[in-house]
Amino acid sequence: MTMKLLILAGDGIGPEVMAEVVKVIEWHKRQGLDFVVSHDLVGGAAYDAHGTPLTDATMERAQGVDAVLLGAVGGPKYDNLDFSVKPERGLLRLRKEMDLYANLRPAQCFDALADHSSLKRDLVAGLDIMIVRELTSGVYFGEPRGVSREGNERVGINTHRYTESEIARVARSAFELARKRSNRVCSMEKRNVMEAGILWHDVVEEVHKAEYADVELSHMLADAGAMQIVRAPKQFDVIVTDNLFGDLLSDCAAMLTGSLGMLPSASLGAPMENGRPKALYEPVHGSAPDIAGQGKANPIACILSFAMALRYSFDLGAEADRLEAAVEDVLAEGLRTPDLGQDEDTRSVGTQEMGDAILKALDARAA
Ligand code: NAD
Ligand code: IPM
Ligand code: MN
C-alpha cells in the first residue's frame, strides 16, 4: 500500500536534519517500500513566502497524507512578529486541526552515550521511558487568552482548561502503550493547587478502574515528578501529563539521553478511514538558531522520529527496530555530532556525515 508523507522541514536546523531523513526514506524506497513524498512550507519559511506560518492549502495537504514529518520552526528573525503569525502558531495549528492529542516522547539512553548524560551512568544506562504529553488542549489553547488592559496596567491571560473526554482519551493512549511495555503508568498534575489537576487525577483513576485495572497506576505532583525524573529516572515506564507539564518534563528527560538532539516524538490522533492514526512526527528540539547553517546539528532526533513513523503509522516495527539499531551502531562506532561531546574514543562528525554513516549501518544490517 502506498504511504504518503508530507515533509515540512521548517526553519533553522529543520531543513538540515530533514535532509538526512530524506536520505533514509530514499534508502527504504530502494528496499521496496512505497513511500510517496511531497514537501511544503511551515513556520518562518511559510511566513516569508506567504505571510502566514501555515497556509490553508498546506493544512489541507497535511490532512490528506498518512503522516506529516516536521523539522522545526522558529528563530530570532521572527521574534518580533505579531503573535498570530509567529512560526510556532503554524505548528500549533497543525496539532490542533489534526487533533493530535497524544504526543509520545520516548527518552531512551543509548549505551554509547551513557557517559555523556548530565547524570551519572548508573542512573541512565538502559533508561527507557515514554512521556505521553496531551497536545491539543490545556493552557496552550484555553480561552480566554490574550493581553489586555486593566486600569493602568496590562494583564496577560491564559487559561488552563481540560474536559473529561480530553483527559480520558490521552489516559487511554498511555495505558495502551504501558501494556506493550512494562505495564506501569505514572500520571502527573498539580491537584494540590489546580482544580483541573483534581479532575485530571480523578479521570485517570476512573479510566484505570473501568478499563485498565491490569496496569499499575501511580500519581505524582508534577513538580515532585520533575525532581524524580532527575533523581531516579529508571523508576518510570510511561508518564502521562498535560500539555505544558509535558513540554517541560520532556526537555528535562532529553538530557538524560545525552542531548536534546536525540529525542524524537510522535503526535497521534484518531484513526483515519484507512485505519492509520492521524500523525505528525517531529524531533523534540527546536530550530537551534545558535548552530543553524553550520552543518553540525544532530540529525538523530529527526531520524528516530521517522523510525516512530515506521512503527506507529505503517506498522513496520521490524524496519523501525532496524533503523534504531543502525543509529546505535554509529554511536557505538564513536561518531559524535558536537552536541554529543568528545573523548579519545570518538570522532567528531557533521550532520551529513552522521546521516551517511547511518545509511551505511542500514546497508550492513540489510545485507
Ligand atoms: P532549541 O531546541 O532550538 O535549542 C536548545 C539548545 O539545544 C540549543 O543550544 C541548540 O543548539 C541545542 N540543540 C537543539 N537541537 C539540536 C540538535 N539537533 N543538534 C545539536 N544541538 C541541538 O530551543 P530554543 O533555542 O529554546 O528555541 C529556538 C527556537 O525553536 C524558538 O523559536 C522556539 O520556539 C523553537 N522551537 C521549536 C520547536 C519545534 O519546532 N517543535 C521546539 C522547540 C523550540
Ligand atoms: C515543542 C515546542 C513547542 C511546544 C513550541 C515550538 C510550540 O517547544 O514541541 O516541545 O511548546 O509545544
Ligand atoms: Mn518544547
Which pLDDT score, from 0 to 100, does residue 255 have? 84
Q: Where are the alpha helices (DSSP H) in 65-212?
A: 87-97, 121-124, 164-179, 195-211
Atom index in ligand 2 nearest the CA of residue 247 equals 10
Same domain, 135 and 253: yes
Domain that holds residue 78: 1-105+263-367
Tell me if 110 is assigned to some domain: no
Residue 270 has pLDDT above 90, yes or no: yes
Ligand number nearest CA of 11 is: 1
Set of cell numbers at residue 81: 512578529
% residues pLDDT > 70 (the chain)? 100
Same domain, 243 and 165: yes
Which pLDDT score, from 0 to 100, does residue 1 have? 84
Tell me if 111 is assigned to some domain: no
pLDDT band at 254 (very low <50, low <70, confident <90, very high): confident
Which pLDDT score, from 0 to 100, does residue 61 have? 98
Same domain, 219 and 317: no
Q: What are phi and psi of 185, to 5 degrees?
A: -125, 135
Residue 271 has pLDDT above 90, yes or no: yes
- Could you count the other beta carbons within 10 Å of the beta carbon of residue 83? 10
pLDDT band at 343 (very low <50, low <70, confident <90, very high): confident
Which pLDDT score, from 0 to 100, does residue 258 have? 86
Average pLDDT for the chain? 97
Residue 367 has pLDDT above 90, yes or no: no
95: left (phi over 0), alpha (psi -120 to 50) or beta: alpha
Residue 232 has pLDDT above 90, yes or no: yes
Instruction: Quote the CA–CA distance of 345 and 52 in Å, as a whole number.
Output: 47
DSSP state of 149: E
| Ligand 1 proximal residues by C-beta, below 6 Å | 13, 17, 72-75, 88, 91, 260-261, 282, 285-291, 297-298, 301, 339
pTM, entire model: 0.97
pLDDT band at 70 (very low <50, low <70, confident <90, very high): very high
pLDDT band at 293 (very low <50, low <70, confident <90, very high): very high
- Which domain-ending residue is among 212, 231, 257? 257
Determine the distance separating the centroid of ligand 1 and the alpha carbon of 289, expressed in angstroms.
7
The arithmetic mean of pLDDT across residues 100-105, rounded, is 98
Same domain, 64 and 43: yes
Report the binding-site residues for Mg(2+): 223, 247, 251
- Does ipTM surpass 0.95 in this model? yes
Same domain, 253 and 269: no
Which pLDDT score, from 0 to 100, does residue 312 have? 97
Report the binding-site residues for NAD(+): 75-88, 286-298
Which pLDDT score, from 0 to 100, does residue 349 have? 98
Same domain, 85 and 122: no
Which pLDDT score, from 0 to 100, does residue 240 have? 98
